[in-house]
Chain A
Amino acid sequence: MNFPILSSLILLPTIGALFILFTKSSSGKYQSSKYVALFISLVNFLLSLYLWYVFDKNSIDFQFVENREWLSGFINYKVGIDGISILFIILTTFITPICIISVNATIKNRLKDFLIAILIMETFMIGVFCSLDLIVFYLFFEAGLIPMFLIIGIWGGDRRVYSAFKFFLYTLLGSVLMLVAIISIYWITGTTDVERLYELGIQTDYQNLLWLAFFSSFAVKTPMWPVHTWLPDAHVEAPTVGSVLLAAILLKMAGYGFIRFSIGLFPIASENFTMLVYILSLIAIIYTSLVALMQEDMKKLIAYSSVAHMGFVTLGIFTMTQQGIEGSIFQMISHGLVSAALFLSVGVVYERHHTRLINKYGGLVSIMPRYAIVFMVFTLGALGLPGTTGFVGEFLILMGAFEKNILVAMIASLGVILGAAYMLWLFKRVIFGEITNQQLKSMKDLKTFEIITLSALVIPILFFGFYPEPLMNSIEASVENTLNMYNFDLINNLASKD
């Protein structure tokens, strides 16, 4: 396998962005640049599907590894994937074309710049999920701030400046501590290569502080309570496509980071801090669900529900059980699809009616029947009805949690009920009931491109809800390997204490 398939995945969107930069498109229309972007992102999607096809699901090693000398020989550009990363890569390449198709509904000005920003963003997101070197990971992780800052700031709503700044500074503040930790790891072990670090292990004395430094970055990005406050602001002000990218992929970087780095590199510290993560996750699940119940803005409601869902994810990861971690990964993929779909659905009505306030809607089922159907599927996916992806994830996470700590699992189960409450109530208020607002009657049902994007999301939500096997299949070996390494380190540590 000499063809650098991962690097092509990473670079292709950037090449597309450069191409768009130099295309002269007639002012106002920008059709050609949109087709270029769509073409590039679809090629990338097909490439990632091919990657999934040739990927060896039973192997626990990193595959398609590329290792190039980069930073004066001491830090290498190293990328590679295992069963965990491949799903996130496919999620990224799947969501990006959907974003590009839905672009012209919401973005009125400077479409060309917007497409460039999205494609650059795709490069960075894929880079995060492939990188096998801490410095390379940090580079991609942080670089993603630049296009997202611009997406929120240029094309956002009224309070976009405040939200963009909050997003940027919160994330940066969390991340600089991670940089300190990464450099410390380099001096402690002499390498930042993740595979080497897995073999070498990090001395127990350092693990707690290093874990906390990584945690500060991932907790902001996840986002966990109490540093979640940037998320509702960013979501509300971002344009629809920006929200989709943010919810579907950016939040997953942190969950991925927890599995790959926090557990993989610092098993003993992870064990020490398990309770902290449990408590923060439970607060996130219960508290933000309650907050979501009270929201009047649809996007804000979904944003808070994202925090609650990510609370499940962190809970599941730190149960350190096969079911819990698999459930978390599944939940992240599911949330990536469902929240993207929900934000797009909100975008559909916002574009027609120019408000996101829930009480301005009602009775949409009789005006937009098709919309009501897809919105119902997404609502049920978000609340975790059996038959949708949401159920599989939450169910596995709760199974893992019951195995470790019954109290935690019981409190978390309350979150499932609350989730059902706010989602169904949202659905009821928007879709059912009398048409109180007469202006709504002029609204048209879904356009063709909306049907394409939304049904593209309905299919995987239902398919993997009924038949999760393909996804489970590819993560199983890698998760098992991660857990084995984790338990091995713990036992060694206990043995050395005695």
Chain B
Amino acid sequence: MENFQYILPEIFISIAIMLFLLVGVFKKNSSILIYNLSTISLVILLALIINLSSLNKIYLFNSSYQIDNLSNYMKIILVGSGVFVMLTGSKYIQVINLNKIEYPILILSSILGMMIMISSNDLIVFYMGLELQSLALYVLASFNRDNLLSTESGLKYFVLSALSSGLLLYGCSLIYGFSESTNFDQILINSTVFNYGKTFGIVFILVGLAFKISAVPFHMWAPDVYQGSPTSVTLFFAILPKIAALSVFIKFLYTPFANMNDQWQTIIVFISIASMIFGAVAAIGQKNLKRLIAYSSISHMGYALAGLATVSNQGIQSSITYISIYLVMNLAFFSCLFMLKRNDNYYENIEDLSGLSKKHPILSFSFLIVLFSLAGIPPLAGFFAKFYIFLAVIEQSMYFLAIVGLLATVVAAFYYLRIIKIIYFDQEKDGYETSHNLGLKITLAISTIFILAYFIYPSGITEIVSKITMI
């Protein structure tokens, strides 16, 4: 029991989930109460994790659970963005009548699952965490059950995700069979000799993970799910599962499979290039902003994976920096989306932004900053994210990857510019409501200022991230 303190955050959030369920069952009309309590418990959770973050590497439960710099940092940004997701969405789910007690509880359980994924050091623990987060996500995707698109997206996500989980599980069993252990460190020790069984195992596991992170060619679910789900859930989808999946990617590639980088490096390079190009090209024709951001996130994941493909600490750190900046940009983008509200209706088509700048200069300015940052134009934060990635990629002399990636940013710049054009150059339409909840405003302000002022002190994130070393 002396290690109890190290897993306190997970225990705290589990108890909170069960407690809130009980409250929900026994107290009528408690949905708002539970929503607020969940937000508060996430803040406490964040504090608990930060409290642990000064520790060194710690193994728990027969070394199937690991707490180190990587897991701590990832958990901090995971729970931190969880808090902001709750803050921004609070008004939205009330307006579209989704404020049921299950909603915050599902989000909390999904976050718990992700935390277990991030810390897992064992195939079985990892799979448990993965399924916990996935099950919650299936329900969340179809949470707006009276809406045809939402139901469709939930079902689609369930079917495809179950398939990928199956592949992943098969990969896990192959790995177990050929390396005689489920423990990551043990697999690394046992995998000094090359054999095809393990290679197959790696491929299956990578396929499953690529699905979770929505990288090409396993991205098919993303646009539909993003569009169909309620916007607050889309925001959740766009950030949190990606953080968890990227963290697991790093963990898998650099712990159990570290000796086999000649096997997986080409796969990651391919997935990365395909995602960058496909995400950039496919987004051009989109009319729905949520769908567009789905394609945009596909291409962003391509960049994050490019960092991992380098097999260097620099690369891993650049990927983590990338995802940190990516999540802020997405928070800002979705906060802007939540502000497009008129008469209890939320608008999400690109055309609805037409001429926004005349009536809503501040909102348009935020959009402008976010979109240029997503496109990676200096001096905004998005540029530094890409800069670190290419710094790492070119260090390993992977010029092809770097040039393709940078050319893809030019293509991607086109569709971001198109939105800016519609906001700033086109004829104005009806205005939107200007009163929003405080959480939304604060989130938008913080994230926009972060993006805008990142260049003043760019070493902040880098210094924290540079403690994470895997090799």
Contacts and interface: CB of A to CB of B under 8 A. Distances in A.
* Bound pair (A, B): yes
B291 to A, nearest CB: 22
Given A142-B377, A143-B378, A160 B399 contact: no
A161 B379 contact: no
Given A70-B459, A154-B424, 8 more contacts: A69-B459, A73-B459, A139-B378, A161-B421, A164-B425, A172-B409, A172-B410, A179-B406
Interface in B372-389: 372, 377-379, 383, 387
Nearest to B421: A161
B154 to A, nearest CB: 38
B403 interface: yes
A138 B459 contact: no
A180 B402 contact: yes
A149 B466 CA distance: 36
11 contacts: A69-B459, A71-B462, A138-B378, A139-B379, A145-B377, A164-B417, A164-B425, A165-B417, A168-B413, A173-B410, A179-B390
Given A153-B424, A164-B421, A180-B402, A143 B377 contact: yes
B458 A143 contact: no
Given A138-B378, A173-B410, A176-B406, A72 B417 contact: no
A116 B234 CA distance: 35
Nearest to B386: A179
Given A165-B417, A169-B410, A180-B399, A72 B394 contact: no
A472 B462 CA distance: 45
Contacts of B466: 72
Most chain B CB within 10 A, of A139, A168, A176, A184, is at A176
Prevailing SS type, chain A contact patch: helix
A165 B421 contact: yes
Contact of B459 (A71, A146, A153, A164): A71
Contact of A70 (B383, B387, B409, B458): B458
Interface string B392-434: 0011000100110011011001100100110011000000000
A179 B402 CA distance: 10
The 9 closest A-B pairs by CB, nearest first: A72-B459, A176-B406, A72-B462, A139-B378, A183-B394, A142-B378, A153-B425, A173-B410, A143-B378
B463 interface: yes
Interface string B311-343: 000000000000000000000000000000000
B368 to A, nearest CB: 8
A180 B459 contact: no
B43 interface: no
A180 B379 CA distance: 17
Contact of A180 (B372, B395, B403): B403
A367 interface: no
Interface in A115-163: 135, 138-139, 142-143, 145-146, 149-150, 153-154, 160-161
B391 interface: yes
Nearest to B372: A146
Contacts of B463: 72
A3 interface: no
Interface in A63-97: 69-73
B425 A154 contact: yes
B395 A165 contact: no
A287 interface: no
Nearest to B392: A183
Given A70-B459, A72-B459, A154-B425, A172 B413 contact: yes
A113 B463 CA distance: 37
A187 B406 CA distance: 18
A176 B410 contact: yes
Contacts of A146: 372, 377
A422 B353 CA distance: 45
Interface string B144-178: 00000000000000000000000000000000000
